[in-house]
Structure 1
Amino acid sequence: MKDSIIADLKNSYGLICNQITPVTGGLLNLKWKVSTEKGELLVKQYSTKRYSRERIERIESALQRQIILEKKGVPCPFLWQYGDRVIRWLDDETAYMVMDFCSGKTENPDTITITQMRSLGSACAVMHKAFSELQEPSVKSLPNFGGYTMDLLWENFNSRMMKCAPDANVEYRKALLAMEPILKQLSTEFFDKFPKGLAHEDIQPGNILFHVDGVSAVVDFDRNCYSYIWHDIGRAILSFALEGNIMNVEKVGGFLEGYSQHSELTLTNIADALRLSWCIETPWWIRPEFFRECDEIPKRFKDEMLWLTEHWFEIESLLCS
């Protein structure tokens, strides 16, 4: 941790760091668990190589929403503010924030229990309900990356097909060709049936902490924006219920039961949410670099998209089996 951050923690927040321990995870961003007289905290420094100042300002807006959600009972970390700001800029290359350190552990499809899945469903519904009660975002525009509209989805697909050389990776080319029949049968109104609003947009194992009985914290609201709410649902099911090449229907049922305690949801809705996630995320993960040697996390995302491609026309029956 930079000396300037240590000094600012003391001068701005009255925090004296007794022990500083690096925390892994987070592309290019730096994180530390800090022991202070006011409890254990997490300090996160944003990478100005990964994020522009404009992007970090958008993250500030997302974190301001997180503050409101935490007050409404959503299980997420308490954020420290200096004045009315969460992110502190010390210079052009140093932007950081402070939050309470949340206990808990991460889970994956192999380790998560049905009880924890039920709690995850409940936490997602409570979060979506709290988001819906916030003042409507001034800009109701969907993200312009990924496949958030039919035009963007086709644009991404056609671009990749044009760039796909005859000698390209066989599995990558096969994955692209398998997408085309799905795209051709999608109607132009496909996206119209999905509710729009504020969504977390990054419900994956690294961003959910659990205790034995359920969710202890939903973290990392950096990507929170106006989007399709059901993308959170599809992403949660893929991240926690898809065990290898098999969808665990009991865990899907647990999530459904938890979510339905607060908002209406059906298995058909979940099937549609999975298809929506495919539309949004194939431009991110069906890419040549992820069909070569790559890190475990993008490989997992790629494999999820391949599973959805293979089972697109039978998702409902798989969820009901």
Structure 2
Amino acid sequence: MSDPILDHEQHLFRELQNTVADRLGMTIIHAVPIRFGYLNRKWKIRTDRGDYVLKQYSRARYREDHFPALHAALFTQNRLHDRGIPCPYLVMSQNDVLHVSSEGERFSVMTFCHGNIVKPGFLIGRHLYHLGKWTGRMHRFLNDGSMAMPEEPEPQFIPPSQAERMKHWDRVERELRSKYKTELLPVLERHRAAAAKINLPLMLQSRAGWAHRDLWTDNLLFSADRLSAILDFDRLRYDYPEADVARALMSCCFAQGRFDTSLANAFLEGYREEYPFEQEALPRSLLMLYWMECEWWIHSEMDSSSAPPVRFREEMAWLADHIDEISNGSFI
């Protein structure tokens, strides 16, 4: 009996393979699926022009109105590559980085970057120093006016008030009770307590700007003790660069319930060599990350989540439990 999921993936790959040959002039010799990412499909491909990554953008994840922002993000990725930021370069055809197959599948082809994903708990200070340095340089290029980034009226994330967040947690509690998942209520109560204590005036001092917005371990490659590539610029938008810093710190410095301050300081040392980051920016960046992401990962289906959401939920729980120390800057 055939596997319909496998059959669909094989049909999709053949369609993209033909389009790559017809429109990009590249012959795919060999392909291996890359099992990372959410809904989008990826393959490492060997072609007559070298090694690349083929990425298909899921119709379930991207509505039609999402593609203008995706186009802009991918063009910016190429411009950052041209400025020396270690990231893949997207193959262009007819002056476009996003291609469409005969059956309407959107995809990109980008250079293959060598390196390894290093999981939390196995990163060292040199990893974090180089990550911080390249993150700071990326933020500088994006926000110093040299790349002529478009004007944006407001950041992507508009922080809710404490009252709004409390109403949200009330809705989550009702969902948990209606689905007889009361064993998850203690998790919710940790976040309700954090919402009551969070220092919103401090958090709201965060400066808006262009940011990667997905700077976590699965999107970072390292070779030896150095960063070799930043991946997945699909979510790059005008938002909060400081939240990028906090996302990288939580992803790289938090392991087994402990936040490694020595790794965080190594990141900040490298970052500050390239872009300003005053001492008070650290607590407000972590507060911004928490306020932005906690409602993404705390919900009525969190007991059936896969590995990445579980990891993010643990990070949010740690931030919630340490909201006082973060607010007064005493945790680092």
TM-score by length of 1: 0.91
Which shifted more, 307-316 or 231-240? 307-316
Q: Is structure 2 residue 276 aligned with structure 1 residue 264?
A: yes
Q: Distance between the aligned counterparts of 2:286 and 2:199, measured in 1?
A: 17
Which residue matches 2:298?
Answer: 286
RMSD over aligned CA atoms reads 2.1
Aligned mates of 1:13, 1:309 — CA distance in 2: 49
Partners of 1:92 and 1:189 in 2: how far apart? 50
Question: Matched residues in 1 for 2:200 and 2:258: separation?
Answer: 30
- Which of 259-268 and 231-240 deviates more? 259-268
The answer to which of 42-51 and 163-172 deviates more is 163-172
Is residue 28 of structure 1 aligned with residue 39 of structure 2? yes
Q: Unaligned regions of 5+ residues in structure 1, if any?
A: none
Between the aligned partners of 2:91 and 2:296, the Cα distance in structure 1 is 33
Alpha-carbon contact 1:172-1:286 (below 8 Å) kept: no
Match of 1:150 among 151, 154, 161: 161
Tell me which moved more, 59-68 or 262-271: 262-271
Task: Confirm or deny: 8 A CA contact 1:150 1:191 kept in the other structure.
Answer: no
**CA distance in structure 2 between the aligned counterparts of 1:23 and 1:172, rounded to whole angstroms:** 33
Provide the residue aligned with 1:276 in structure 2. Answer: 288
Q: Verify: 1:49 aligned to 2:60, yes or no.
A: yes
Distance 1:196 1:53 in 2: 26
% same residue: 26
Contact 1:77 1:102 (C-alpha < 8 Å) held by counterparts: yes
> 1:196: which partner in 2?
208
Q: Identify the residue that residue 187 of structure 2 maps to in structure 1.
A: 175
- Partner Cα separation in structure 1 for residue 168 and residue 228 of structure 2: 37
**Distance (Å, rounded) in 2 between the aligned partners of 1:159 and 1:98:** 42
Deviations, residues 243-277 of structure 1 (Å, cap 9, x unaligned): 11111111011101110111222454222211111
Who is 2:317 aligned against? 306
The secondary structure found in structure 1 opposite 2:322 is helix
Structure 2 residue runs of 5 or longer lacking an equivalent are: 1-11
Aligned-partner Cα distance in 1 for 2:115–2:304:
31
Following the alignment from structure 2 to structure 1, what is the Cα–Cα distance between the partners of residues 139 and 166?
29
Q: Is the 8 A contact 1:79 1:100 kept in 2?
A: yes
Q: Tell whether 2:160 aligns with 1:121.
A: no
Normalising by structure 2, we get a TM-score of: 0.88
Correspondent of 2:120 among 93, 109, 125 = 109
Q: Deviations over 1:175-228 (max 9, x none)?
A: 322333432344664443101011111011110111112111101011111111
1:7 to 18, 25, 29: 18
Q: Which moved more, 1:98-107 or 1:10-19?
A: 10-19
1:199–1:229: 8 Å Cα contact kept in structure 2? yes
CA distance in 2, matches of 1:135, 1:75: 20
1:236 maps to 2:248: yes
CA contact (8 A) 2:155 2:209 kept: no
Q: Runs of at least 4 residues of structure 1 off by over 6 A? A: none
Pick closer, same or farther for the CA change 1:166–1:35 going to 2, 3 Å: closer
